[in-house]
Homo-oligomer: A and B are copies of this chain.
């Protein structure tokens, strides 16, 4: 793969502390691919042959059962996905597809496992990464089980506002049908949920959101760092 991408990858927490020659081993076996939008990268149930790294663009992780499907997460640059499956040498639990034109690094899983066995710093970095992701999923589960869809939307809006800089007006990160799926509801229900936040000063104009009354919305949403803060 082109060496130009090395420094960016090396800077990821996952790879920052490992020995240089081990990093080179991983990079030698890796390759970069450019994918157009809306391309399936992997399917749940398949063996986990590669650890993926998104260099640019974005990727949707989703799952299916009995004809239904749901968005589980969005992967944005620069970060990895399918780490747990790679480590456990187990089949993927989620499928992945590009949301837009994306540049993706593929590292053979067996290389990852081999280096993991001989590089303690890499192993420790993986622990930290996995622990962080585990906690993120637990938070999502609490969101799903403890809140109604209206409350989930309200808290999502507050999270997204913070991500976007904290101002009263900001854009959604993806299209509404996906947002609905991420939040565990139908697009119709999402549309009505936005209306339901009208009393709290939420104004929607296409993909643009304006929070008219921050305190009202927060009083309703009751955001909680143990659910909504994904940095800890």
Contacts and interface: CB of A to CB of B under 8 A. Distances in A.
Contacts of A232: 88, 90-91
Interface in A148-181: 151
Interface string A115-130: 0110010011011101
Interface string A198-210: 0000000000000
A227 B93 CA distance: 8
Contacts of A123: 120, 123-124, 127
A74 to B, nearest CB: 15
A83 B135 CA distance: 10
Interface of A: 44-45, 63-66, 68-70, 72, 83-85, 87-88, 90-91, 93-94, 116-117, 120, 123-124, 126-128, 130-135, 137-142, 144-147, 151, 184, 222, 224, 226-227, 232
B184 A145 contact: yes
B224 A65 contact: yes
A140 to B, nearest CB: 7
27 contacts: A63-B145, A63-B226, A65-B142, A65-B146, A65-B147, A65-B222, A65-B224, A65-B227, A66-B146, A72-B141, A72-B142, A84-B131, A85-B135, A88-B132, A88-B135, A90-B135, A91-B226, A91-B232, A93-B138, A116-B127, A117-B124, A120-B123, A130-B131, A133-B134, A137-B137, A144-B144, A144-B184
